[in-house]
Structure 1
Amino acid sequence: MSSVIQEVASTRRAASERRKGDGRMAALFLAPWFAGLFLITAGPMAASLYLSFTDYDLLSAPAWVGLDNYTRMFEDPRLLQSLQVTFTYVFVSVPLQLAAALALALVLDKGMRGLALYRSVYYLPSLLGGSVAIAILWRQIFGADGLVNQVLALLGIEGTGWVSHPDHALNTLIILNVWTFGAPMVIFLAGLRQIPRMYYEAASIDGAGPVRRFWSITVPMLTPIVFFNLVLQVINAFQNFTQAFVVSGGNGGPADSTLLYTLYLYRKGFADLDMGYASAMAWFLLLIIGGMTLVNFLASKYWVHYDD
């Protein structure tokens, strides 16, 4: 009897040692992630939250000012202008981007030779669209002597300086964001491949045409994917910076027509050396993105359809 007890105890000790070993190994592999979390994400966020309550010019020690930076935001006309520009940019470019992505995904879903090649080619804009090189190219294309005006001249239409005109400059940024449809397109294509074909076959037998099948089968079955892409692209659009910085020359011009919120935040922090105010703006942006995401989740129960 005692030998059985000793054997059970020995087995338990061995299992306990294995669990401890597994725990140490897991901690070892997770250590880089935790280091990045605390040193690159959580630490700077905590520092930014503290600085948002201070007057800090990057050259001298921060001085505590309480809520002054937050109250200043509601009296800053350029900040209100940047919010207007940013919301226009988000609410126009994101729906157009998702519509373009879905349309192209529907075309690719029909099946064609070299599908993998086309999928890769159309995904490239998402990889390159946020780069400085593409923003510079975009500025040249829509410049006074750019490709767009050259094509219009061939058609007998007088062009304009698209990036230098307050009425058109933001539109060039919207077009650039719509052009980066590759990532949502690939996700839409994966979602389309998951829709059972028997639904389309049954609808065809009942006499439903392509448009009817799209609105009655494709759209309802694809709403979780639409919702996923919508949330991601709204967040990305609010955070866009490089395109506006390069196309506008870093000042949000002309006449602040391309002054996105992130660009104004950058200028306050690194051009005006008002880092305390910039930190407050960063946290206000976090609240805006969080609020928009919450609204999307609350509204999703009215239009997103899951299997159940």
Structure 2
Amino acid sequence: MTTKLHIYASSKLDRAAHLRVHPDTLQSYRNSPDSLVTIVWRHMGLFTASDDINPYFIPASHAREIFDLAEEVVFLGLRDNRPVLAAMLPHSESTPELPPLDLAEGTFLDLRDHWSLLNKEDAAIMAYARGLNHWHKHHRFCGHCGNPTRSTEGGHVLECTGSNCGKLHYPRTDPAVIMRVTDGDWCLLARNAGWRAGGHSVLAGFLEIGESLEQTVIREVKEEVGITVTNVRYHSSQPWPFPASLMVGFTAEGSRHDPLVLDSNEIESAKWFHRDELIASPEDETFNLPRKDSISRVLVDDWLKER
């Protein structure tokens, strides 16, 4: 099987997990001129404030004041043998004022709004940092005993500080299935009321305890649009740290002659679209396909290319 690398999944970063248990080595990276630092605030990353928008990777030698501001500094891995760190700033409402970086001006931007301006490696690293930042912000306390947690192993483990607990917490990812349902030259797309104007996509849903991924595909399609699908096949997967999911893509077959019964709590509308309709998509407020950084768009585009 050929591995399909999606946006946010194509990083060549060596995560070097064996280094996470060496605190002296990790501390030395903060002082190394070879180390690169990406800065995360809320759900945004730091980009260069210039005509050419690029992720702002700061040499660690210029980031010492940033480290003082950060709530946590996480080791992401090695990129071409250079350590890459993520400095996670406090979750303030107003944009933080950064100390002079002695390099260039920076601005905080949402990765999803600017991914197309980045190469795949930078986009994957920034998504990785964003996902870890979300996990840290939402696991400050032990879910077992309620005591505060502390970061260890380069930011990849949160340890309970309770004297009678000490439970270790690891970054979590919530698996979800996303499925393209077709019937010959027809593809089923749906719309959620909260999406951008005209936005349509394939169906998706979260895995439940005790289910296989294939069972989740069948259940979610039945729940959301009321039809039964067969021939469920794995397609590919994509990390989706917005905030903490893994999208597992599938294809399935259904009948466009079966009546659609929509779950009004999740689905505003659903319809079978002919291949020619999607090829001629106006991509405007009346109708548009999924955003191109998502596996949902890849599932549709791959099907359109099959003709």
TM range (shorter): under 0.3
Q: Which has the higher contact order (CA 8 A, sep 6+)?
A: 1
Between Structure 1 and Structure 2, the one with more strand by share is 2
TM-score by length of structure 1 reads 0.22
TM-score (norm: length of structure 2):
0.23
The structure with the larger Rg is 1
